[in-house]
Amino acid sequence: MISETLLIVSLVSIWMSLLMSTLTLTGATHFWLRHATKLVTTEPLHAYPKITIVVPAHNEELVIAKTTRAILDMNYPAAKVELILIADNCTDHTADVMRAILNRRAYRFRNARVFERHDGGGKAGALNDALKMAPVVKALAADPDLEPITVVTGQHREMLQQVLDIFNLTPDFDLKVMEKRQSLTSITTKILAGLGPILESVHPDMVLVHGDTTTTMAAAMASFYHRVPVGHVEAGLRTWDKYSPYPEEMNRQVTDDLADLYFAPTNLAAANLKRENHPLDRIVITGNTAIDALQYTVNPDYHHDLLQRLNPSHRTILLTMHRRENQGEKMEEALTAVRQVVEERGDVDLVYPVHLSPAVQEVAHRVFDGVHNVYLIDPLDVVDFHNLAARSYLIMTDSGGIQEEAPSLNRPVLVLRDSTERPEGVRAGTLKLVGTDPARIKAALNGLLEDPLEYTRMATAANPYGNGHAAEAIVKAIKDYGASV
């Protein structure tokens, strides 16, 4: 009797288990069938949602091709996929690889685009050009025979405004081309389109451009298209390597090919222009307008909170490093060498205004965080930077403009680059090329800190970049040119 009862109970339990399993499976199937229609189905095509895939890449030329192909080949309707590839401050061929993939026959008509982000140095370049042209605009405005009309692109407006305020200048036209993550092609196109109507309405007798930015090259090209003579301030600088610095080297070469009047800052720059067969009677050695600008910015009574934090008995090393070609492993090795010297010495402070580029910020903080005599600060405006440079003991930089300004302040400069378009300073002895090799950096830095004779030799070397009257020379050359044509 007991065994029969147990058998009945067991059978009931088995049947109940089977019933529960059946109900669970039925419920799961019903749920899947009910909700599957809300998910992506294989058909019809319009049921697929449109998606945008953004792929940022920094120096990933070896892997970006496989990633791009995998996205484009995935099992999803091609018409529903937008692919945005961003080459973020790349110093390799990542952007070229991206474009090569998209140009293949299989992908040529896909909704995919490549954007290049070039933040490394862009702001510094805009500020540098504005600073160097401001004395020229002031000198032109002071001449009763000349009427300057100022055009700005609107890039890096806050930094530009610093210069406009210092020199009390108001632009006549603002192209307002500034956008985040725009490519060199986009900048060039916008400036060409923006300058065209201005040139047609103003009918200038000459367009002055400065330096080696993409804006400079595009403005020279727009002027050429409208048959307006071009005067190039800071003409003739060369490294003869079209990718170093990039894109500046080719920007200035193209600009000089389009120019009609060349304002060479040094004898060597003039010699470069002669070597390229530019007309000798159109080449004028003026000195560098950066030296003119120092007269407006350096103040003996200058005060800044940072100066109160520095040890007055210490020697201050001012460091800047941000160039695209130095980012990555080179930068980390160079900064590590500087840190080792600073840590070993108890008589120096290092001040590093760190560029806002994430690539630069990351390396700078990884190398220097926790070092008590290193001050990582936000980028300085032009007045603060010039006055801090004037109060420093020596300067280490990969910037071009600082190489010109420091000799006027009698400060030795260690250049953290393997080549420079300003070799006059190296020949004169005010600059020393040390590149990014740690051993060279440590030897040169220790040499200036330990050898008073070496320091004095560099600090007192003749300034090859002019006497502070470049703007006056440029105005005279423009008037002479106008009288001769």
HSE (CB half, 13 Å, CA atoms) of 232?
35
* Catalytic one of 116, 119, 129, 234: 234
Can 355 be counted among the known catalytic residues?
Answer: yes
Least confident of 257-261, 396-400, 444-448: 396-400
Choice among 96-110, 121-135, 182-196, 200-214 with the minimum mean pLDDT: 121-135
Q: Does the pLDDT of residue 284 top 60, yes or no?
A: yes
Contact 350, 338 (CB under 8 A): yes
Tell me the mean pLDDT in the region 413-434: 92
Q: Could you confirm whether 344 is annotated as catalytic?
A: no
Q: Compute the distance between CA of residue 399 and CA of residue 381 in angstroms, rounded to an integer.
A: 15
State how far the Cα of 104 lies from the Cα of 68, in Å rounded to an integer. 12
Measured CA to CA, the distance from residue 124 to residue 379 in angstroms comes to 10
Would you say 209 and 262 are in contact if contact means Cβ atoms under 8 Å apart? no
User: Does residue 307 carry a pLDDT above 70?
Assistant: yes
CA distance 319 to 338: 9
234 is catalytic: yes
Q: pLDDT value at position 45?
A: 60
Residue 369 phi/psi, 5° resolution?
A: -55, 130
Of 88, 116, 119, 248, which one is the catalytic site residue?
A: 248
Average pLDDT over residues 175-197: 87
- Tell me if 324 sits within 8 A of 118, measured CB to CB: yes
Choice among 212, 398, 404, 424 that is catalytic: 212
Torsional sign, CA 255, 262, 241, 420? negative
Predicted pLDDT at 119: 44
Cβ contact 433:418 at 8 Å? yes
Please count the residues of the chain: 485
Backbone angles phi, psi at 37, to 5 degrees: -70, -20
Distance CA 25, CA 259 (A): 80
Q: From the candidates 118, 210, 324, 417, give the one annotated as an active-site residue.
A: 324
Selection from 119, 226, 133, 235 nearest residue 178 by Cα:
119
Give tens-digit pLDDT for 446-462. Answer: 999 999 999 999 999 98
| Residue 309 a catalytic site member | no
Catalytic residue among 238, 323, 345, 355: 355
Task: Grade residue 36 by pLDDT with cuts at 50, 70 and 90.
Answer: low
Residue 123: pLDDT above 50? no
pLDDT-wise least confident of 10-19, 117-126, 186-195, 231-240:
117-126
Confidence of residue 243 (pLDDT cuts 50, 70, 90): confident
**pLDDT value at residue 311:** 87
* The three-state (H, E, C) secondary structure of the chain, written as one string: CHHHHHHHHHHHHHHHHHHHHHHHHHHHHHHHHHHHCCCCCCCCHHHCCCEEEEEEECCCCCCHHHHHHHHHCCCCCHHHEEEEEEEECCCCCHHHHHHHHHCCCCCCCCCEEEEEECCCCHHHHHHHHHHHHHHHHHHHHHCCCCCCCCEECCCCHHHHHHHHHHHCCCCCEECCCCCCCCCHHHHHHHHHHHHHHHHHHHCCCCEEEECCCHHHHHHHHHHHHCCCCEEEECCCCCCCCCCCCCCHHHHHHHHHHHCCEEEECCHHHHHHHHHCCCCHHHEEECCCHHHHHHHHHCCCCCCCHHHHHCCCCCEEEEEECCCHHHCCHHHHHHHHHHHHHHHHCCCEEEEEECCCCHHHHHHHHHHHCCCCCEEEECCCCHHHHHHHHHCCCEEEECCCHHHHHHHHCCCCEEECCCCCCCHHHHHHCCEEECCCCHHHHHHHHHHHHHCHHHHHHHHCCCCCCCCCCHHHHHHHHHHHHHHHC
User: Taking a C-beta distance cutoff of 8 angstroms, is the pair 155, 122 a contact?
Assistant: yes
**Given a cut of 70, is residue 237 above it in pLDDT?**
yes
Torsion angle defined by CA atoms of residues 165, 167, 169 and 175, in that order, rounded to the nearest 10 degrees: -70
Q: Which of 322, 345, 391, 417 is catalytic?
A: 322
User: What are residue 232's DSSP bridge partners?
Assistant: 209, 262
CA distance 437 to 459: 23
212 is a catalytic site residue: yes
In this prediction, residue 147 carries a pLDDT of 94
Does 248 participate in catalysis according to the annotation? yes
Which segment of 118-127, 148-157, 259-268, 377-386 scores lowest on mean pLDDT? 118-127
Q: Residue 120: pLDDT band by 50, 70, 90 thresholds?
A: very low
- Residue 253's pLDDT band (cuts 50, 70, 90): very high
Q: What is the mean pLDDT of residues 260-284?
A: 96
Residue, of 404 and 205, whose pLDDT is higher: 205
Q: Cα separation of 330 and 338, whole Å?
A: 13
